[in-house]
Amino acid sequence: MSLIPISPLQLKSHSFPIIRLQAMPGGKNTSQTSFNRNVSFIPLPERPNEWQLELTIKIASVDPTNPFLYDLEVMVIGIVEVRAELPEEQKKQIAVVNGFSILYGAVREMVINLTCRSPYGPLTIPTITFTGVLKLDSEKFSA
């Protein structure tokens, strides 16, 4: 039996400080929505290979008179750790892009679990990418 290779990124912990879900009266799955993603990340100074990531997802109706099925906001905060032996130039990339991808999967699962028992049934939020997060971060600091 061969060993299963372990990822160079490990999710150490995560929690959901904000979970807000409202089934909208008269909601329709064809109504236009706004989908917002906010991210922040910082390396943990006392732990050189660990990062704290914060992700907030908000979905709301664009037109309150034509509501979407749900109005929701979910925030997840996670701590990820990259392997110490990784090259320094790869650590941030892997921690941020892969870390947010893992946390987003946890948000998607939370939304499905919450909406399964809601009046309109399960909502699967779309898959998104986090590859541009580092580019936005570097542009913010070079401006």
What is the C-alpha R_g of the chain?
18
Q: What are the chain's domains?
A: 9-138 (3.10.420.10)
Report pTM.
Answer: 0.91
Distance of CA 99 to the CA centre of its chain: 9
Distances 124 to 45, 91, 111, 112 between C-alpha atoms, Å:
36, 31, 7, 6
Query: Residue-wise pLDDT tens for the chain (143 aa)?
Result: 778 889 999 999 999 999 999 999 999 999 999 999 999 999 999 998 999 999 999 999 999 999 999 999 999 999 999 999 999 889 999 999 999 999 999 999 999 999 999 999 999 999 999 999 987 665 554 44
